Chains A and B, each alone.
Chain A
């Protein structure tokens, strides 16, 4: 008979719990996560809590440095910078998430199909990706934005269209690797249809790299949006985003340096946090990575 102590069934940890525990040990990643949550909350809720309106101008005051009434100062029209920063944050983060979502959807579908079916279809699809990869996409995005108007939906689509390529490649290679595993063979011999196998068996198992890459795509997307806004081609006034704020700040930085420093710092902090978090996730989720 087994000794009584062995009767207690050992609770193993799931992959996710394991990864979470590992992530927690990475201080930079935790910091990044915390900072992101704080920034997200601030941008979401902050503007409602402030006494100043986002569009409220105070032409007598003009541009003033940080003070008790305006914690981050005001811009040349007397608008409170803190509120504008948080509202702009909503746009920047929103565009970041939306465009990443577009890239994610297209990339995953494309990559999964190419990886799963293989053969001729795969070759054609990957050639397309290769050709598109070699095109100067930024140039096209700029053209699109200039010519077809400064529509914010178009902005999501244009940016998403640039970023999906790498996602597709990653998904494809992951799918191809998973496809060969025995449990897929088992599923197939049980008679499961192809769509079911892809969505219920393969995809959940490659969620790890997908999550990591998504977290790392968001800063890229935000960078693109800010880049376009800096050139005057992204978000249009009266809407503002961090890119627009940085652009304004850069123009006026000689006399009103805070107009550049605060948006710049906020933007950089967000990107830092996303990058740290993404790196941390990559280390935490990759079961086989060696700590070099």
Chain B
């Protein structure tokens, strides 16, 4: 078990290193720099700016400097927002995106697991068909179609919600619904499949024979094993919610890190892009690591080996 964790950890660190290096060099090789986009700047000012930000040093020097600063947790100053460091900007926006992400995940899990469970208990009933239709819809209608449509219907025509913004709790509803719904679909399918397998096993029959109520059988016995596929899906699900947030934050004008990432990429704000990419990479890799470990631990075969 320990060996497994160590090897996965090393793998992740290697991947992280690759990501940082690749992104660093990719950004530097792009035509145009952070200062050429907007107002034309005279050559002297350009040179001063570059010297100030260390852009006039040789490439490998910049790379080493960057790595050095990274070691101290300093992501550098932002190029587009003078006098603000990347750490500040990220610290500002990440809580918003985190809230969006967690709430959406919650929505996805609640809707998905509930639908999937009912679909498994009452196979081929109307609930089952509802679940698979929801499943199909979630996969086929993308978030950037559902989102604007919901805004059109519920916010603009019915006036129940604001069309954009992230001020009060009501503003959370639409974005999280849209983002979560897309993942509720696969989660419900996986729950249904997993539960169906578990429900056929003998220990469930024993529990029922011993007189446990159906509710108890499901929640205390069946779900534990049935949810295993869902756990392994959590990795891709969170990664997906993360990338989905780019679009959702754009549609609903949410001041999160996803929208900031897209903007900074278009603006060629080197350090901000790099900082955001590193953030995402660390997040996704940590998550995959946790999910892998969790899976290995939950699987009794692996656990008993160690």
Which A residues fall within an 8 A CB radius of B? Answer: 127, 130-131, 134-136, 138-140, 142-144, 146-148, 219, 223, 226-227, 230-233, 246-247, 249-250, 253-254, 257, 260-261, 264, 267-268, 271-272, 275-276, 292
When chains A and B are docked, how far (Å) is the Cα of A268 from the Cα of B251? 18
With known contacts A136-B242, A142-B265, A246–B144 Cβ distance under 8 A: yes
**Stretch of B92-100, B134-142, B203-211 with 4 or more beta carbons under 8 angstroms from chain A:** B134-142
Q: With a CB–CB cut-off of 8 A, which chain A residues contact B125?
A: none
Main secondary structure of the interface of A (DSSP, over half): helix
Q: Are A227 and B140 in contact (CB under 8 A)?
A: no
When chains A and B are docked, how far (Å) is the Cα of A97 from the Cα of B272? 35
When chains A and B are docked, how far (Å) is the Cα of A138 from the Cα of B288? 16
Q: Are A250 and B30 in contact (CB under 8 A)?
A: no
Q: With a CB–CB cut-off of 8 A, which chain B residues contact A276?
A: 136
Q: With a CB–CB cut-off of 8 A, which chain B residues contact A272?
A: 136, 140
Q: With a CB–CB cut-off of 8 A, which chain A residues contact B14?
A: 131
Closest 6 CB pairs of A and B: A250-B148, A271-B140, A138-B243, A264-B145, A147-B30, A272-B140
With known contacts A131-B14, A139-B277, A142-B262, A253–B148 Cβ distance under 8 A: yes
Q: Are B285 and A134 in contact (CB under 8 A)?
A: yes
- A29 to chain B minimum Cβ distance, whole angstroms, is 12
Instruction: Tell yes or no: B266 within 8 A of A by CB.
Output: yes
With known contacts A226-B144, A250-B251, A292-B196, A135–B19 Cβ distance under 8 A: yes
When chains A and B are docked, how far (Å) is the Cα of A205 from the Cα of B48? 65
When chains A and B are docked, how far (Å) is the Cα of A60 from the Cα of B19? 51
Q: Are A231 and B139 in contact (CB under 8 A)?
A: no
Main secondary structure of the interface of B (DSSP, over half): helix
- B257 to chain A minimum Cβ distance, whole angstroms, is 12
When chains A and B are docked, how far (Å) is the Cα of A230 from the Cα of B248? 11
Instruction: Tell yes or no: B280 within 8 A of A by CB.
Output: yes
Tell me how many residues of B have a C-beta within 8 Å of chain A: 45
- A150 to chain B minimum Cβ distance, whole angstroms, is 12
With a 10 A CB-CB cut-off, give which of A127, A219, A232, A268 has the most chain B CB atoms.
A268
- Nearest B residue to A131, CB-CB: B15
List residues 121-155 of chain B with CB under 8 A from any CB of chain A. 123, 136, 139-142, 144-145, 147-149, 151-152
Q: Are B149 and A134 in contact (CB under 8 A)?
A: no
Instruction: Tell yes or no: B158 within 8 A of A by CB.
Output: no
With a 10 A CB-CB cut-off, give which of A131, A134, A219, A250 has the most chain B CB atoms.
A134
Instruction: Choose among B11, B141, B243, B285 the residue that contacts A127 (Cβ–Cβ < 8 A).
Output: B11
List residues 261-293 of chain B with CB under 8 A from any CB of chain A. 261-262, 265-266, 273, 277, 280-281, 284-285, 288
